Structure formats: C-alpha cells, structure tokens
Structure 1
Amino acid sequence: MSAPRVKVWDIWVRLTHWIVAAIVLWNLFGPTDSTHRLLGYVAAGLVVARLIWGFVGSSHARFSAWWPTPSHLGEYLRSLAKGKPMHHVSHNPLGGLMALLLWSLILALGVSGWIMRLDAFWGEDWPQELHTWLSVALELCVCVHVGAAVLMSAWTRENLIGAMVTGHKNKDGS
C-alpha cells in the first residue's frame, strides 16, 4: 500500500520555482546581453510575486507554514544529528532558509544589475564587482540547494524534486 499523499506545492509555487531556476541557469552560463538583463528583471519580478504569495497563497506556500525560526532550526538540526530527520509537509527549516537566501540573492542581483545601467555609476567598478560576487554566491547556493534536495530525497526516501514537479508529497514522510 502506498503512503498517503498530500498536495503541497500549488501551480504558482511550481511555475515560479522552475521558471526562476531556468532563468538563473541561463543567466549564470549564457551571454550577458539584453536578454540576460530582461530575464534578470523577470526573475526578480517572479521572486517578488512569490514573496507576495508567501502571505496570500495556498496554505503550504505561506511563510506561516515554513518560516525557519531559531527554535524550528534547532529542533531540525538536532533531528539531523540523531540521523532521523524530522518530516515536514512544507519546507523543512533549512530548506526554508535556503529559499529565503536564494530569493534575496536574486533580488540583489536585479538591483545591482539595474544600478550598473544608471548614468550616476558610469565608469564605477563596484556595481559590476558586486554583481559578479552576488552571481558567484547564487551559483554556490544553487549547488547546495540541488545537492541537498538530492541528498535529502535519498536519505528520507521522499522524492523532493518530484514533489516540486507534481506538487504532491507523502503526508507522513514514509
């Protein structure tokens, strides 16, 4: 008998996740041209929309379902240290923290990219340097995010990547 399933990620969460992921990959490895700039603004806009959805969206998409408080983080880290990670229907506290970090980096990249185009900063090196460092930080965080999703899927025997495709997870973590 299969484990009971629950709808966790609504279509808006899944679409924004995968569209932003595709844009990030394109912008990290593609040419830095007008398409790069446009896609960067689209990614930042989608992040803003997802942040709004964190207040008004479906129950599992809301920040109240997964906000990584210090107590939730501590409890989750202790469960990892014991080798028995706690099951979370929505994001686990580390996943929630990573989502916030990724979104912050994408927004900062959008702002730094915009600043680079302003006449007030013509000839200044720091906006480009900041943008480059933010992109490196985003690249590292994406690698950690994907690696953690794969590792935790194997460890917990719950297909977290599949859940972001289908929207469904096991209700009890089995």
Structure 2
Amino acid sequence: MKTPSIRVWDPVVRLFHWSLAVSFAVAWLTAEDWEDLHYAAGYAAAVLIGFRLVWGLVGPRYARFSQFVRNPGDTARYVGAILRGREPRYLGHNPAGGLMILALLSTLSATALTGWMYTQDAFWGAEWVEELHEGAATLTLGLVALHIAGVIVASLRHRENLVRAMVTGRKRAPQATDVA
C-alpha cells in the first residue's frame, strides 16, 4: 500500500535549490582554472539568491521565510531535541533547516559579492577581498557538508527521503505529532 503524500516544495523552490547547488559546485571546482566558467557560476548564484529572496516573500506557503525562519530560542530548543533524539517532524523546513537556509544564503551572498568586487578596478588585487571571498566560499562548503549531514539525520530519524522530496516536491502526509 502506498503511503499518502502531499505536495510541499513547489517547482520554483526545487529548481532554485538544485540550480544553486550546481552553481556553487561549478564555482568551487573552477576556482583555480576556467575563469570564465567560474565567473558565470558566481553570477548565476547571485541571480538565484536574489530571486530566492523575492520568492521567500511572495512564494507559496512552504517557500516563505515567515513559514520556516524561527526565533533563536525555538531553534536552540529544536537543536536540543535533535541531540536527545526527540525532535518533531516538520512538514516544511524545521527550525535548524531554516537557520541553515539563512546561513547558506548569507555565505553565498558574501562569496558572490566579494567575487564581483574582485573584478572591479577599485578592488582588483586587494588581498583582503580575495581572502574574504575564499573564506566565505570555504565556510559555505562547510555549511553544505553540515546541511547534507542534517538531511541524512532527519531522513533516517523520520523515515523519509528528503532528497527525493526535494526532487518530487512531495512528502509523507502529516501525522498528529507532526508540525505542519
């Protein structure tokens, strides 16, 4: 018997997610070589982030920042519940996931901004800009690893393939103990 599911992630959120992941991967892998491809991937990431900021205000329910950005206390309590193995399942992003989205958007924005700055005459050759750019990119890579670990933990704990959900847009229908 097939488990009932509902649509959570709209096509725009899913396309954004995977496009940003590819843009970052391409930019990271071409940082030392293929300068034109590196720049294109960085500009693509910047455009995607700008679009996501707008979509986070006007998109459907589970795309909106107001749905998944929680206050620090709620987020800390949720992380504590994860550590105790007692976190509730969220239909949309959980509080830790919401914080991760903000962190990734911030570090990716810093990476894109400093990358663009480095192409401008005013900052060409400025070592501090290059160091900020590389530091933001490295921090982003660390956050990506943490994000993937969080997805794996949540998928195992709640017996739900979150990667598939970000491909299909569908998650298991909520149960009484889930946070919709």
Q: Considering only aligned residues, what root-mean-square deviation do their CA atoms show, in Å?
A: 1.6
Q: What is the distance in 2 between the residues matched to 1:122 and 1:51? A: 29
Look up the match of 2:72: 70
What do residues 58-81 of structure 1 show as CA deviations (whole Å, max 9, x unaligned)? 111111211121232133234324
- 5 Å matches for 1:1-174? 1-30=1-30, 31-172=33-174
Query: Matched residue of 1:121: which SS?
Result: coil
Bigger shift: residues 151-160 or 93-102: 151-160
What TM-score do you get using the length of structure 2 for normalisation? 0.90
Paired with 2:77 and 2:3, the residues of 1 have a C-alpha distance of: 25
Write out per-residue CA displacement over residues 52-109 of structure 1, whole angstroms, 9 at most, x where no aligned residue. 1111001111112111212321332343243222111110000110111111111111
Report the Cα offset of residue 123 of structure 1.
Answer: 3.1
Once the two structures are TM-superposed, the CA of residue 32 in structure 1 deviates from its matched residue by 4.8
For 1:171 and 1:42, locate their aligned partners in 2 and report how far apart those are by CA, in whole Å: 34
Aligned-residue identity in percent: 37
> TM-score if structure 1 supplies the norm length?
0.93
**How many equivalent residue pairs?**
174
Structure 1 residue 116 displacement after superposition: 0.6
Gapped runs of 5+ residues in structure 1? none
Distance in 2, Cα, partners of 1:140 & 1:32: 23
